């Protein structure tokens, strides 16, 4: 959200995510526990507010912070055992990647980071939806330029590579279809300031026909690379200017190429941080841009009179289904392929009518049904990835049977999977 360090005030976000597990996935409220880690607050204006409820001290960092997080994880595991699914939310970039890696590798529990992995899956779902629209490059031909190299874009780049690998593209080739910029310009291998996560997507200087100074200029980079998709998550309002969108579009509309429609994603929110609006992207591209955003935008009228309904690439389409799917399968890990499965399920849930309206993601009005589809795909992928366990209750036996038969690709079998997932969902009218 670009809200900075909220300290204990971030508890509202944890509560909101918990509510979505129930509202979207049908996970019983008694099975969800929001937790805030109060290690101080690095924002003086928040910390010094007379109504602030958290520790009135600067944020703790280093070994003491890590020890606190480890104590929390150990306590949760001791209390809830193998049934625990750990969802990390709104940790700063300096902690998010390393904590995720640490607890993925060193603890026997399924865990994921919502800002890195769920947002990545929402972006991939939007891209998978976009490539179903005529004039958009197919997924294996996409050239992505990420503006911003934080958790969301790094996660999206990594999942895009996973998607291409699942389509038979080598990892080396897949990474060559990704370019990324941070506040200092393009990520290149001659830079000495790159984190491990950024270095993974750094390109060699000899791949560029751009001076070192111009590598910091988004317009020059767009003109040189001619990307098929421009994805912003830098929290820089107005970063996607009219000239950039125009150049992005004309860069594709040359020669006889069937690829004439760029994908534009302005993922930063709230609106005061959005790289551009839906109306701007569509108008400046002459109606060619296929748009998705992090902020909800109103429908846009094209000069032809057609109405475009922009999609919001929100991770609420992903994480509730990840949680429900993991619970259904008794997953011991949450793998990248499970997030790919979630993205694919969301994209497939987008109807032809929605695509005709320019929506690359399904309507939020169908969130609960979409979440069931996501959960079924996630549970099936858990089986395929061999991270599923014997389901803990007799009510789930039908899920195991349906998944084991799914290789025949019979829609009736998948319908059975969906019914198994629905049988797990909580309703306020149920007595538990």
Residue 395 pLDDT: 35
Residue 125 pLDDT: 98
Q: Is 336 annotated as a binding residue?
A: no
Residue 25 lies in a domain: yes
pLDDT exceeds 90 at position 427: no
**305 and 339, same domain (yes or no):** no
Cβ(411)–Cβ(373) under 8 Å?
no
Residue 47 pLDDT: 95
**193 and 126, same domain (yes or no):** yes
- 251: tokens are 């860069």
Q: Is 415 annotated as a binding residue?
A: no
End position of a domain, from candidates 77, 104, 131: 77
**270 and 162, same domain (yes or no):** yes
Residue 103 lies in a domain: no
**245 and 259, same domain (yes or no):** yes
Separation in Å, CA 248 to CA 64, 119, 179, 196, 418: 47, 24, 14, 29, 41
**263 and 124, same domain (yes or no):** yes
**305 and 326, same domain (yes or no):** no
Q: What is the mean pLDDT of residues 56-64?
A: 94
Residue 150 lies in a domain: yes
pLDDT exceeds 80 at position 256: no
End position of a domain, from candidates 314, 340, 355: 314
Residue 208 pLDDT: 81
**178 and 304, same domain (yes or no):** yes
**295 and 238, same domain (yes or no):** yes
Q: Is 429 annotated as a binding residue?
A: no
Task: Report the residue count for the chain.
Answer: 432
Banded pLDDT at 392 (limits 50, 70, 90): very low
The residue that leads in pLDDT, 259 or 98, is 98
Banded pLDDT at 383 (limits 50, 70, 90): confident
Residue 43 lies in a domain: yes
**193 and 256, same domain (yes or no):** yes
Residue 109 lies in a domain: no
Neighbours of 383 (CB within 10 A): 16
Residue 46 pLDDT: 95
The model's pLDDT over 262-283, given as tens digits with 9 standing for 90+, comes to 999 999 988 999 999 999 999 9
Q: Which domain holds residue 56?
A: 7-77
CATH number of the domain residue 155 falls in = 3.40.50.720
pLDDT exceeds 60 at position 310: yes
Residue 229 pLDDT: 98
Cβ(65)–Cβ(411) under 8 Å?
no
228 conformational bin, left if phi > 0, alpha if psi -120 to 50, beta if neither: alpha
Residue 207 pLDDT: 84
Number of domains in the chain: 3
To the question of pTM greater than 0.75 for the whole model, the response is yes
Percent of the chain whose predicted confidence (pLDDT) is above 90: 78
Cα torsion angle, 75, 78, 79, 85, sign: positive
Banded pLDDT at 414 (limits 50, 70, 90): low
Q: What is the mean pLDDT of residues 58-63?
A: 93
Reduced to 3 states (helix: H, G, I; strand: E, B; else coil), residue 145 is: strand
Q: Is 115 annotated as a binding residue?
A: yes
**284 and 136, same domain (yes or no):** yes
Closest CA to 268 of 293, 243, 299: 293
Residue-averaged pLDDT of the chain: 90
End position of a domain, from candidates 77, 105, 133: 77
Give the per-residue SS3 of 68-91.
HHHHHHHHHHHHHHHHCCEEECCC
**201 and 348, same domain (yes or no):** no
Percent of the chain whose predicted confidence (pLDDT) is above 70: 93
Residue 430 lies in a domain: no
Banded pLDDT at 399 (limits 50, 70, 90): low
Q: What backbone torsions phi and psi does residue 417 show, to the nearest 5 degrees?
A: -60, -45
- 118: tokens are 């769920």
Q: What is the mean pLDDT of residues 251-260?
A: 79
**386 and 417, same domain (yes or no):** yes
The residue that leads in pLDDT, 391 or 329, is 329
Q: What is the mean pLDDT of residues 145-159?
A: 96
Residue 125 lies in a domain: yes
Q: Is 213 annotated as a binding residue?
A: no
Residue 294 lies in a domain: yes
């Amino acid at each position: 959200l670009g809200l900075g360090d909220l300290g204990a005030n971030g508890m509202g976000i944890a509560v909101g995510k918990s509510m979505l597990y129930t509202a979207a996935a049908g996970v019983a409220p008694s099975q969800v526990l929001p937790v805030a880690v109060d290690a101080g607050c690095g924002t003086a204006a928040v910390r010094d507010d007379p109504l602030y409820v958290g520790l009135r001290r600067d944020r703790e960092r280093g070994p003491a912070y890590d020890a606190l997080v480890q104590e929390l994880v150990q306590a949760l595991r001791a209390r809830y055992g193998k049934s625990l699914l750990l969802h990390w939310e709104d940790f700063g970039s300096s902690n998010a990647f390393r904590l995720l890696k640490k607890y993925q590798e060193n603890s026997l529990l399924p865990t994921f980071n919502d800002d890195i992995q769920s947002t990545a899956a929402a972006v991939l779902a939007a891209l998978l939806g976009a490539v179903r629209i005529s004039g958009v490059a197919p997924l294996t031909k996409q050239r992505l330029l990420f503006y911003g190299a934080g958790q969301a874009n790094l996660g999206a780049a990594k999942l895009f590579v996973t998607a291409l690998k699942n389509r038979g593209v080598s990892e080396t080739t897949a990474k060559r279809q990704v370019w990324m910029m941070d506040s200092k310009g393009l990520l290149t291998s001659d830079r000495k300031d790159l984190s491990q996560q950024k270095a993974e997507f750094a390109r060699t200087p000899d791949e560029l026909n751009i001076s070192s100074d111009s590598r910091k200029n988004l317009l020059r980079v767009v003109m040189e690379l001619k990307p098929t998709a421009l994805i912003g998550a830098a929290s820089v309002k107005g970063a996607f200017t009219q000239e950039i969108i125009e150049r992005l579009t004309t860069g594709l509309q040359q020669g006889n190429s069937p690829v004439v429609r760029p994908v534009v994603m302005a993922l930063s929110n709230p609106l005061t941080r959005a790289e551009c609006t839906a109306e701007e992207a569509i108008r400046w591209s002459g109606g060619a841009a296929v748009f998705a955003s992090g902020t909800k935008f109103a429908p846009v009228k094209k000069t032809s009179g057609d109405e475009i309904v922009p999609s919001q690439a929100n991770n609420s389409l992903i994480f509730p289904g990840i949680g429900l799917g993991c619970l259904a399968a008794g997953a011991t890990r949450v793998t990248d392929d499970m997030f790919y499965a979630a993205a694919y399920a969301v994209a497939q849930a987008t109807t032809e009518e929605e695509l005709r309206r320019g929506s690359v993601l399904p309507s939020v009005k169908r969130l609960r049904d979409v979440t069931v589809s996501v959960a079924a795909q996630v549970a099936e992928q858990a089986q395929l990835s061999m991270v599923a366990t014997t389901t803990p209750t007799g009510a789930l036996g039908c899920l195991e049977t349906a998944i084991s038969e799914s290789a025949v690709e019979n829609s009736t079998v998948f319908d059975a999977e969906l019914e198994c997932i629905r049988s797990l969902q909580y309703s306020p009218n149920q007595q538990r």
